[in-house]
Homo-oligomer: A and B are copies of this chain.
């Protein structure tokens, strides 16, 4: 039960995929979201989940979900849902999510399709919940009473902006960011990366990923305009990304160099302090899934490491280490984000918790 005593009915779109499975895994233990409807492709619809889904989580498939019958992803089958989490693939997400929005439903999407929409907030829950302020305008534009759509960010972008946010807050505009990722295979879904491609190997390319990091960072770290009708993207900051796939199951590691506008730049100690003391709004308003610390700064010189640190804060914390001077820009560090929790399904859930706290979920009590 939420603090207000409400139980919310959740729908899941794309429930058989890897993001969908993660939604199931997280929601089945959630105190006030209950899984009410699960949707997948028409090929799977009408069948019991356990008969169709190839369950790949390391935790057991919850029996009550295994017994549920999969529905087609049609809004009329989800009308009872207070929130809908979409783990749909981008090749179908755009159209389906739009149809749900038009049906006045609340959609938290992990897909990329609506991220660049000028009236769709792109929210990393431990970074920019203020972007929910655009929802009234979005509703008004689409003549909605209670529905809206919010997207979470690309998994690699998510880790990056969590670390940049407190630095921008504390030290002013960031002029330049160079980020290089080492991304886990789970980021590619299932079957995703062929084992013959990634065993004993690195793939120095992930289609569209660098562009996402270079764009989404500017939207997330920007703000809602004065009339709450659009976003002011960062225009000053330049981001350069290299995205690599490495033989790791979960957890994206990122090497980041940044340059501040203000001279002299903050010292390594000041940067470390700003990261370590960061408290996100999701923590302040007491969201259930918010981590104790949005950023964990590790003093060990050989951390963060994906296998040992990805579950920090139950996958909702970003771990930062090796903060030091950069010979070329100002400061550099290494960060780690759990790509399928904070970097995907977890962001959707925590975003929904924030929306509830902000009174955006109009739940019949």
Contacts and interface: CB of A to CB of B under 8 A. Distances in A.
Interface of A: 18, 56-60, 176-178, 180, 182, 185-186, 190-205, 214, 238-240, 242, 244, 246-249, 253, 255, 257, 259, 301-308, 311-312, 321-322, 326-329, 332, 334
A306 B200 CA distance: 8
A197 B196 contact: no
Contact of A202 (B196, B204, B205, B305): B305
Contacts of A194: 190-195
Contacts of A240: 257, 326-329, 332
B195 A198 contact: yes
The interface centre, meaning the residue of A238, A248, A304 with most chain B CB atoms within 10 A of its CB, is: A248
Contact of A182 (B246, B332, B334): B246
A249 B197 CA distance: 10
20 contacts: A18-B196, A177-B328, A178-B326, A178-B329, A182-B202, A191-B191, A192-B196, A193-B194, A193-B196, A195-B247, A199-B200, A199-B247, A202-B306, A205-B302, A205-B322, A239-B328, A242-B332, A244-B253, A244-B255, A247-B247
Contacts of A190: 194, 196
Contact of A195 (B185, B302, B311): B185
A166 B25 CA distance: 33
A308 B204 CA distance: 12
| Highest count of chain B CB atoms <10 Å: which of A18, A195, A197, A249 | A195
Given A204-B322, A242-B180, A328-B177, A199 B214 contact: no
A56 B196 contact: yes
Given A195-B192, A202-B306, A204-B303, A176 B328 contact: yes
Contact of A203 (B18, B305, B326, B329): B305
A308 B196 contact: no
Contact of A248 (B176, B186, B247, B306): B247
A225 B100 CA distance: 71
B326 A56 contact: no
Contacts of A312: 60
A328 B238 contact: yes
The list of the 5 closest CB pairs from A to B, nearest first, reads A191-B194, A240-B327, A201-B307, A205-B302, A180-B180
A186 B195 CA distance: 9
Nearest to A199: B249
Contacts of A204: 253, 255, 302-305, 321-322, 334
Interface centre among A18, A59, A178, A301 (most CB of B within 10 A): A178
A152 B301 CA distance: 28
Given A193-B196, A199-B249, A202-B248, 5 more contacts: A58-B307, A176-B328, A177-B328, A180-B255, A199-B247
Contacts of A185: 195-196, 199
Nearest to A244: B182
Nearest to A246: B246
A303 B54 CA distance: 12
A176 B304 CA distance: 27
